[in-house]
Every structure is written in structure tokens, then in C-alpha cells.
Structure 1
Amino acid sequence: MMNKTKLALSIATATLTVAGVLVPQQAVAGTRAQHHAEAAAMASKVDVLEAQLRAMQDEMSSLRAASAQSGDSAKVQELDAWMQESKAKPAKVVHDNMIFFRGGYARNDSKRNDLLTGNQFAGNALGGNVTNKDGWYVGAGFDFGLTDDVWGMMANTEVDAELMFEYKNFGAKGFKNAAVSSALKAQPGGQTNNNPLCTLINLAANGGTGSVTGAAGQGSCDSVTVSQFTVTAAPKIKFMKGSKFRPWLIPVGLGIHVVSPPSNGVTVLNPGMMFGTGAEYALWKDIKIGADVRYHLTGRSVDGVNTNGLTAGGYLGIGF
């Protein structure tokens, strides 16, 4: 009985020993396989992560490039919008003003031949030549700059508003018929060279008879000066802006003429048109010299006085 018991115990002990040995070996074998599997899985995950990282890096680069391009495009669009807005705005007015002083030759198309210049009184009995066509003028004016590109229609072409005045002198008309002058005054031996206006005024003042005395009957009344005062307003188109030499043109302007002595109807004003052309040169800084030719056309005489004529001369300008 005891032997059987010992044998059973021995068998149990051996069994447990073998089991103890086999179990760790199997556990170790299982752990190694598991480690290999986990290592493989980890390597696979690393590869996936690396691929995802590369994909993210590529995407970030693409996003940066797209962002840069998008920024440039936005700037271009912003600049284009600004340019369109600038074009839509009215042209900026650039003032190029100038005051100028003129002088030169003047000529009327017709000579004066009316009552107060002597040649129509008593059938031209007072004698003397008719008045001159040729004379001289002085004047001044200023240009006010309106636009430097014809309101966006023509580059480097300026439009100014010109206001100008001038005085023209065509000489004095003398009266040299002593006999007729004395007869008109009903007394020989008096002042014999009076013009018709002086004679008529003094005769009326003295009842038409007797000697005419006083300043009006003296030598200061033996002639009459024919003159004309003109005021004009006109647009002036100046070409080649920015250049020292600049030609210009006045297509048409308004002129108001004041004649002296008055016409037969004692009228002194006669409106008309003015045309002109010229050129100027910037001599030094804002000092300019120029020359011009202008023609005045009234279209009709004013009670016997024709004011059509031209002027040609030079001018000195100061810009401001």
C-alpha cells in the first residue's frame, strides 16, 4: 500500500515537474511570437505614420504655395481695382497759370470815315486824309489752367481760360482846311484847324455866331486820335505740355470793342469774335516769351465804324 502511495506521489511529482518545465517553454515561445507580431505591427504603423507625415508635408507645401499665389492674386486684383477707380475719377485739374504783357502791330481792315473823324462833315469839306489802317497796340492778360489733358481726351494738351485786354492806337486825324473852319465859326481869323466836334460844340455854345474862344477852340482841338479798347475772353489750347516750346491755338473767343471817337450814332461798343494762334518758349524757370497773331471779326460795322482787324506781336509771360 505504501509502495503504491509512493509510486503515485512520484508519478504526480514527475508530472508536475514536466508540466512546470513545458509550460514556461510554451509561454516563452508564445511571448516571442507575440513580440514578433507586435514588432511587425509597430513597423507597419511606423510606415503608415511616415507615409501620412509625408502626405501632410506635401499638403502643407501645396497649401503654402496656394496661399502665396492667392495673396499675389489678391494684390493684383486690389491694384487693378484701384486703377479702375482712378480712371473712373474726374481728371485732376492741374493749374498752369500765367500773366502776360503784350505789344506790337495793329491793323484795321477799314479806315475811319465818319462824322467825328472829319471826312463826312459837309461833304468832307474840312479836308485832311482819312484815318490810318495801321497802328500799334499794348495789352495784358492772364491764362488760367483748366485741364492738362483735355479732360482725359488728349494727353499733354492743356486747356486754359484766357482773359485779355488791349489798347490799339491808329494815329491822329488832323483838320487843315482853314477857310472852311473859319466859315463855320462865322468869323475869319480865329482858330482854323478845329475838328467838327469841337466846332459844333463851340458854335452851339455861342449861338452859332461870333468868335469861338477857350480851350475847346484852341489848337488842342485840331485833331482827333482814333483808338480802340478791346476786352476778350477765350479758351486757349496749348500743346506739348512739359516742353519748353509750346504752340497754342484759340479756336474762337468773344471780343468786346470800344471805339473812340464814337460812331455817327454816338455808339462806342461793338461785340465780335476773336481767333488766334501763337507759341511760347520757357526762357528761364517761369519766365516765358512768345509771339501771337489774332484776328477780330465783328461781322458788321457799328453805325459806320468797322472794327475788323488783326494784331501781331510778342509777349512776356510770368507763370504762377
Structure 2
Amino acid sequence: MMDWTDRECRFFHRLLSREALLYTEMVVDQSIIHGPRARLLDYDPSEHPVALQLGGSDPATLAEATRIAAGWGYDEINLNCGCPSDRVQSGCFGAVLMKTPDLVAACVTAMAEAAPATEITVKCRIGVDDQQPEEVLPAFLTAIRAAGIRRVTIHARKAWLQGLSPHENRTVPPLDYDLVVAMKQAFPDLHVSINGGIETLDQAAGLLERGLDGVMVGRAAYHQPWDILGAADPRIFGTGTATDPHAVLERMRPRIAAHVAAGGRLHQISRHMLGLFHGRPGARLWRRRLSEGAAQARDTATALALLDAAEAEVLRAAA
């Protein structure tokens, strides 16, 4: 979810669900070592539980980035072995690492040694290109388990590194949920979560009922945040009650006011909130108001007035 699940997005999502584990954007290990660490790693304490996702393929570099990041107190540091983007391939990390399980094992071993108090996890695909998933995925899981990994999230699609765009890799390769379920059965000591094509809480609950330990929801949770996260605590975790989107909006106002007063742009936060009223009367007008007005809202009063006007559209439509 590069360029999507930044700290503003995560703060908003945490208001919708107290229990869901939130993930950062994938951050390249070299960026943490040589770049603006605070900008890359800072987060609000309310985001816990929150996981940092790293991209890289050199054990020593990943270890150094992990050592630095562990000081920020993340609940988990995850090695991405599933992203198919061109930027990732050119750096020889992401989904291409499915081809080198021994290298991945060396990477996670080095990461764990660098931050022994932080859980190291892996996100992967079921295979890439012409690999046979039913052969390569068990071998991959065997290698990372031997390296100490106990939690893995599997995107239930192959990644075609040649011939498909990153967008197509999220939709074109067929899903194989059965294979992921079979991996949980074959590796009962691993905490296995599934990812890919999950768009409703009913789907998520159904996959958990098949014996999987967790469900990762990406784009549906972003575009339909209340549908997925707003009812996740009572539906999936058995705690609390569903959140009210209007109450969430009210709790976002101080965050937005402080952000704009400090020189930030409303769009940097409001872009993550466009789907808050998805599927409800007035949702289209809410999105249009925010999309068209955010660029002009350069002061706190204007920003808050725009939120009021956008919410009024929803309330009028629901009346």
C-alpha cells in the first residue's frame, strides 16, 4: 500500500477499529539508514498495534534498518516478499524474493538478531512467474520457518514479474485460497494470514472459519473503511461495538485542525477519508465536496468549514 497507508491514514483507521493490526507503507531499508528517519518512522502512539513493513534483500542492510526501526517501538517488523512493482524488481526485492528462499531466510535471521525483542514476520505470494505454487510455497515456508519466522501473510495469487503491471498483478492472476488453507494445515505451528481479493467482513469470517489465523484486507479497507474496519471489532474480534462514521469524523477534526495550522494541506488527510460513508446516502456528494474543495482549504477555519459542508450533504441525503 505504498503512498496510501501513511501515518494520517493509520490514525484515521485506528479510530474505526481498536483491534486491527495496521501496517505502514513499505519502506526501503536504505531509506531508513540514509534518509529522514523521523519522517519515515514516526507514528502516533494511538496506532498500536502497528507493524512496519520493510523492503530489501541484503541481510546486513536489512539488519541495520531493523535495528534502527526497533527503537521506534513497532509491534512487528515485516519483510515484504510480495510486492510486484517495477521499483521493487529493480531493487531485487519484493515478490522476486520468492525465487530465493535461502536468501530470505538469511535476511530474516539477520533482522531477528538485530532486534531480538521485536517480532519479525514475512509477507509473500504463492509464487512468481512460471513457478508451481504447490511446490515452491511449501519450500519457501519451510525455509523461513527454519530461520525462526512464526507469522506469515500469504497473498493468494502468483505475481507475474514480466508481462503484467503492478495493478494487473493485484487482479489478473487467479486466487488460490485453497492452497493457503492447505499451507496452514501443513504448517500448523505457523500463524498464517491470507490476503488478496477480500472485500467484505463476511469473506474474512469465512476464511477464518476454514482454519486460517488472520485475514489481511488492503484496498477494500482503504476504499470502504467503515464497511471493513468500522464493524471489525465486534464481528471479527468479538469485542466492543461498531463505530459511527460521524463520531469518527468528529474525532478527526482536532487532528485536521492541528495539521492545517502547522502548515499541512487538508488533502494530505482528507484523501484517506473519501470512502468513510461508502454505500450510504450522500456518499458521492461527500467525496465530491472533499475532492474538489481540499486544495483550496489552506487555513484551519476553511478546512473545518469544508468538512461541515461535506458532512451536511450526507446528513441531508439520509434525512
TM-score interval (norm. to shorter):
under 0.3
Query: Which of the pair has more CA radius of gyration?
Result: 1
Relative to its length, the structure with more strand (as a share) is 1
Relative to its length, the structure with more helix (as a share) is 2
- Please, what TM-score do these two structures have when normalized by structure 2? 0.17
- Please, what TM-score do these two structures have when normalized by structure 1? 0.17
